[in-house]
Chains A and B, each alone.
Chain A
Amino acid sequence: MKHGKRYAMAVDTRTCVGCSACVIVCRTENDVAPGYSRAWVFTATTGAFPDLHMEVRSERCNHCENAPCVAACPTGASHYGPGGIVLVDAAKCTGCKACIAACPYGARFVDPRTRTVDKCTFCVHRLERGLATTACQEVCPTRSIRFGDLSDPESDISKLLAGREHYTLLPAAGTGPRLFLLK
């Protein structure tokens, strides 16, 4: 992935209201198994009343640069796709679940219909057809989800990350997440 695109996503935790439109549209766009989600809304309330702090964030696979799921996969089913997107080749997946155990973000699950592992693909099927957006980004009513190419300094996401304070989940795990959360 040294050359070419490096896809990434940014979620604005200040404007995300946790409406779950991203979760629902993802189910429709990607035909996600009923009862499962590739994207989810995480709501954390901390503190003691009345001094409460609430953080809402739309989460999904972090498409790590150093993905533990890809390392753990014994068959090469989990792999880096175009632009560094972490994908599962269902034809190679044995359903051994090593990747699910290896993921610290809980992003993966077994699709009960195909008996193979499923997860967020950054809507790679849209990217391959020339669309520059993911379904969750398209539907977000507060425009809290941004997606783009990190290797292009002029892309929206590069400019956004250059101008806004942001963090990633579990940076100490050394996974190099590419889901950025804007403060």
Chain B
Amino acid sequence: MNEITTTRANALIDPTLHVWHAEVALYLFLGGIVAGVMVLTGLALLRRPEAQRSRALALTPWHAPVLLTAGLLFLWLDLENRWNVLRFYLTFRPASPMSWGAWILLAIYPISILAAWASTPALLRDAVLARFPRLRAPADWAVRRVRSLAVWSVLAGIALGVYTGVLLGAMAARPLWNSAILGPLFLVSGLSTGAALMLLARLSEPERRLLGRIDTGLIVVEIILIALWLLGLAAGGAAARDAVRLFFGGPFTAAFWTLVVALGLLTPLLAGVIEHRRGAVPGRAAAIFVLIGGLALRWIIVLAGQHAGYVAELTLR
């Protein structure tokens, strides 16, 4: 039997002292969607001739800067000392994932806006330029450089998606997070939720079919990555094994297996497979489940990670 008494105010003893809450989970979720939308729409710009793009597909890149703004708002709300936020941009700290993230987010704004503009249908672009003629020079530049903007969109999206996982994965003090798999897992989850968001738009039938197939494939990869992540923890040291028990009998068991695995992964996977077999056009229901699962995944990982620490190691030498 071990009994620990301490006078400190510590989140490991008292979970109400968790430092990261819903704001960070929502920011990671929105950041993942932005990453997914930028990668997928960047690929669409590169691979699909303009004539074959539906109006809805051509406009989906605009989701990136809009959702990025919402994500940044949540990130800002999470800060305790909000008026010091500019301090992020007075330095660059290569050892700090948070610093990388701050600069990546700053780079993503111009890339996502210019790529979205280049993807916008020409008629709409002309209508906007007729009202704002001063924008013509940068606007024309973006349209001319559409291919390189698309490549930058894909690269920036991958960087953002991986960063959202590395932010947690780089914390050696939190055994549940401290895994290199979190980077690719959050990237794939971001791609999957990005595809799901695009499926909510009025895409053409061939676009829906392709995106539905892509999302089903991404869900399979995500399931494999989650399994590897949990396996890595279960095969790790005492602290890692304690951490993985949060999902196997611990306080996060029900939430993880119902919201993330059953609703967020298996339900849309089953829907995708059935739709594919029957030759049906992917609908919106599965996409909504993917979005719920993506949010639940981040929320649960953010909260559960703060439950895991080195309590046993601090007690027993």
Task: Mark A residues whose CB is within 8 Å of B.
Answer: 20, 23, 35-37, 40-48, 59, 68, 71-77, 91-98, 100-106, 109-110, 114-117, 167, 169-170, 172-174
Question: Which single residue of chain A is at the shortest CB-CB distance from B87?
Answer: A75
B interface residues, how many (CB within 8 angstroms): 47
Q: Which of B81, B97, B315 contacts A94 (CB 8 A)?
A: B81
Are the CB atoms of B313 and A170 closer together than 8 Å?
A: yes
Nearest residue in A to B102 (C-beta to C-beta)?
A74
Q: Does A47 contact B19, Cβ atoms closer than 8 Å?
A: no
A-B contact count (CB 8 A): 142
| Contact B98 A72, beta carbon cutoff 8 Å | yes
CB distance from A15 to the nearest CB of B (A): 18
Which residues of chain B from 92 to 116 have a CB within 8 Å of any chain A CB?
A: 93, 95-99, 101-102
How many angstroms between the C-alpha atoms of A77 and B98 in the bound complex?
13
Q: Once bound together, how far apart are the Cα atoms of A48 and B78, in whole Å?
A: 44
- Is there contact, CB below 8 Å, between A95 and B98? no
Verify B174–A101 contact, CB threshold 8 A.
Answer: yes
Contact between A102 and B171 (Cβ–Cβ < 8 Å)? yes
With A45-B3, A46-B1: A96-B98 Cβ-Cβ less than 8 Å = yes
B184 at the interface (CB under 8 A from A): no
CB-based closest 5 A-B pairs: A95-B80, A40-B8, A104-B173, A74-B99, A74-B98
CB atoms of B84 and A71 under 8 A apart = no
Contacts of B91 in A (CB 8 A): 74-76
A-B contact pairs, 9 of them (CB 8 A): A36-B9, A41-B6, A44-B4, A74-B101, A75-B99, A92-B84, A100-B19, A106-B11, A110-B80
B12 within 8 A of A: yes
B66, CB-defined interface residue at 8 Å: no
Residue of A47, A48, A103, A116 near B81 (CB, 8 A) is A116
Within 8 A of A (CB), among B272-317: 306, 309-310, 313-317
Q: Could you list which residues of chain B lie within 8 angstroms of chain A, going by C-beta atoms?
A: 1-12, 17, 19-20, 78-82, 84-85, 87-88, 90-91, 93, 95-99, 101-102, 170-174, 306, 309-310, 313-317
With known contacts A44-B4, A74-B102, A97-B19, A115–B81 Cβ distance under 8 A: yes
Contact A37–B7 (Cβ < 8 Å): yes
A95→B309 CA distance, assembly (Å): 21
Question: What is the chain B residue whose CB lies nearest that of A117?
Answer: B80
Query: Bound state CA distance, A23 and B7, in angstroms?
Result: 8
Contacts A48-B1, A95-B80, A97-B19; is A173 near B173 (CB within 8 Å)? yes
Q: Assess the B96–A71 pair: CB atoms within 8 A.
A: yes
Q: B310: which A residues are within 8 A, CB to CB?
A: 104, 170, 173
Task: Give chain A nearest CB distance to B80 CB in angstroms.
Answer: 3
Whether B2 and A45, one on each chain, are in contact in the complex, defined by CB atoms closer than 8 angstroms, is yes
Decide: B81 and A76 in contact? CB cutoff 8 A. Answer: no
Q: Do residues B9 and A35 form an inter-chain contact, with CB atoms below 8 A?
A: yes
Which residues from chain A contact B95 at a C-beta distance below 8 Å?
71-72
- How many Å from the CB of B232 to the closest CB on chain A? 17
Give CA–CA (A110, B82) in the complex, Å.
Answer: 13
B172 touches A173 (CB 8 A): yes
Which chain B residue shows the least CB distance to A169? Answer: B314
Closest to A43 in B: B5
A77 to B91, CA, bound (A): 11
Residues from chain A with Cβ under 8 Å of B81 in the complex: 93-95, 114-116
Kindly report which residue of chain B lies nearest to residue A47, judged by CB atoms.
Answer: B1
How far, in Å, is B85 (CB) from chain A's closest CB? 6
